[in-house]
Every structure is written in C-alpha cells, then in structure tokens.
Amino acid sequence: MLNRKPKSKKTPVKGEPVRKQKETVCSKCGKKRPYANKTKKLCQYCVKKVAAEKAKERKAKARKKKAETITQAKLDQVTSWLVRALHEEKCHACGKELPRRNLQCCHFVSRTKTATRFNLHNMLPGCQVCNMYTPHHVWELGKSINRKWSEDETEKLLELAGKQLKLTNNDRKEIYDIYLEALHSAENREYSLDERMQILDAVYEDYLRIVEKLIK
Ligand SMILES: [Zn+2]
Ligand SMILES: [Zn+2]
C-alpha cells in the first residue's frame, strides 16, 4: 500500500517581500525622503526646485546679455527718437505738423551705409507719406540738410557714405548711452528749438569723437 501523505501546502506570501529600506536624507531640505537623484542625494521635490532655480538663473543671464547688447536696430531706434525729439515737430519736406510719435526719421544716405547711419546730420523728421511714397523726398531732404547745417553738407555725407565704419558692441553702447541721455533731457524739459539744437550740436561732437578714429 502506498501511504502517501499529502505534502503540506506552503502558504503563499502575498505581495512583494518587504525589503528594509535604507534611510535616505535629502541633502537640500534635510527631510527623510527617498532619493530622486541619488548622486546629489536629492528628494523629488528638491530636484524640481533645483531645476526651476537653474532655469531662472539662465533666464536672468539671457536678459542681462540682451540688455548689454546694442544691436544696430536698437541704436537706430534711439537715434530715431532723438532726431524727432530735437527737431521741430513737422515734416521737413511738406511742412505738415505732426506729433513726434507720428513722424518718421528720414535718412538722406540710406541706412545700409554704416558710416552715415547714426550720423545726426544725415537725418530729419518727416511724415510717412513723404518718407515712403514721395519719389523726390530725398532730394527735398538733401536741400533741408544743406539749409540746416552747411551748403555742402550732403556732399560731405555722400563722401562719408563711401567709407568704412566698423562699430563694435562697445562703440554702439557708447553712442547709445550718449543718445539716450540726450533724449531723456530733451524729453523731460520744455526746451526752445535753439536749446534743442545746442543739445544736438553737443551730441554730434561726442559722436564724431567716438567714430573719427574708426572711419577708414
Ligand atoms: Zn529635499
Ligand atoms: Zn511730408
């Protein structure tokens, strides 16, 4: 006879075996939490926090860099505002009176030539119609410029336009700061036109001092 005894059944263990966890303390917040970053010993909250802090730093850095960079376009902008703040608030060509913000800064030599691009004698305020749609506008602008500064001013500008002017960011920053300061003083007080022309002359001299050694 076979006398088989039924094997005693093993009671199955439910779930995962309980492994005793090593105690982990976050190196940032000091709380007992499992590590989300084992190398740096950071809990999941602090990993997120650190990432957010780093992103903020990166953004601040980018902002600072952007503020320090004076592009030609940025210098164009302050130049344009300065020209409109210093001259009479009317179009040089058709004489139409307009508030500063509705006037444009018209260039005799186009902005493609750096040697004259930021030269204050190369620009006068004008209305949009004259600046953009009137074919003889530049000829009118030349006449106005010659009347304003000297009778051969446009010839000087044309000669200058053929020369090379290479501006570094520092050069542009230097010009930008001078123009911006003049713009603020011209905007903050009610100067007469004569006084505004005096500001323009002074700023123009400062500009020439910066670029004279750079023009080739
Ligand atoms: Zn933490
Ligand atoms: Zn006009």
Which ligand has the nearest atom to the CA of 90? 2
State in Å: Cα 40 to ligand 1 middle: 10
Distance 77 CA to ligand 2 centre (A): 20
Q: Which amino acid is at 47?
A: V
CA distance 213 to 186: 28
Ligand closest to 131 (CA) is 2
Over residues 118-165, the pLDDT tens digits come to 999 999 999 999 999 888 889 999 999 999 999 999 999 999 999 999
Tens digits of residue pLDDT in 172-186: 999 999 999 999 998
Closest ligand, as measured to the CA of 41? 1
Alpha carbon of 88 to ligand 2 centroid (Å): 13
> Which ligand has the shortest distance to the CA of 127?
2
CA of 17 to the centre of ligand 1 (A): 27
Tokens representing 31 are 């709380």
pLDDT band at 67 (very low <50, low <70, confident <90, very high): confident
Separation of alpha carbons 52 and 61, rounded Å: 14
Among 22-26, 139-143, 193-197, which is the least confidently predicted range? Answer: 22-26
Tell me, in angstroms, the distance from the centre of ligand 1 to residue 22's CA.
Answer: 16
Place of tokens 């600046």: 131
pLDDT for the residue 148: 94
The CA R_g of the chain, rounded to the nearest whole Å, is: 35
CB 95 within 8 A of CB 140: no
Average pLDDT, the chain: 91
Model confidence at 18, pLDDT cuts 50, 70, 90, reads low
Q: Helix/strand/coil (H, E, C) string of the chain? A: CCCCCCCCCCCCCCCCCCCCCCCCECCCCCCECCEEECCCCEEHHHHHHHHHHHHHHHHHHHHHHHHHCCCHHHHHHHHHHHHHHHCCCECCCCCCECCHHHCEEEECCCCCCHHHHCCHHHEEEECHHHHHHCCCHHHHHHHHHHHHCCCCHHHHHHHHHCCCECCCHHHHHHHHHHHHHHHHHHHHCCCCHHHHHHHHHHHHHHHHHHHCCCEC
| CA 52 to ligand 1 center in whole angstroms | 14
Residue 12 has pLDDT above 70, yes or no: no
Residue 76 has pLDDT above 90, yes or no: yes
Question: How many of the other CB atoms lie within 10 Å of CB of 154?
Answer: 22
Q: What angle do CA 72, 133, 152 make, to 5 degrees?
A: 65
| Separation of CA 32 and ligand 1 centre (Å) | 8
Rounded distance from Cα 47 to ligand 1 centre (Å):
7
Nearest ligand (C-alpha, residue 47): 1
Residue 19 has pLDDT above 70, yes or no: no
In total, the chain counts a number of residues equal to 216
The ligand with the least distance to the CA atom of 104 is 2
In this structure, which amino acid lies at residue 186? A
pLDDT at 3 exceeding the cut of 90? no
Question: Nearest bound ligand to CA 25?
Answer: 1
Please report the pLDDT score of residue 140 as a whole number. 93
Q: Which ligand is nearest to the CA of 133?
A: 2
Residue 11 has pLDDT above 80, yes or no: no
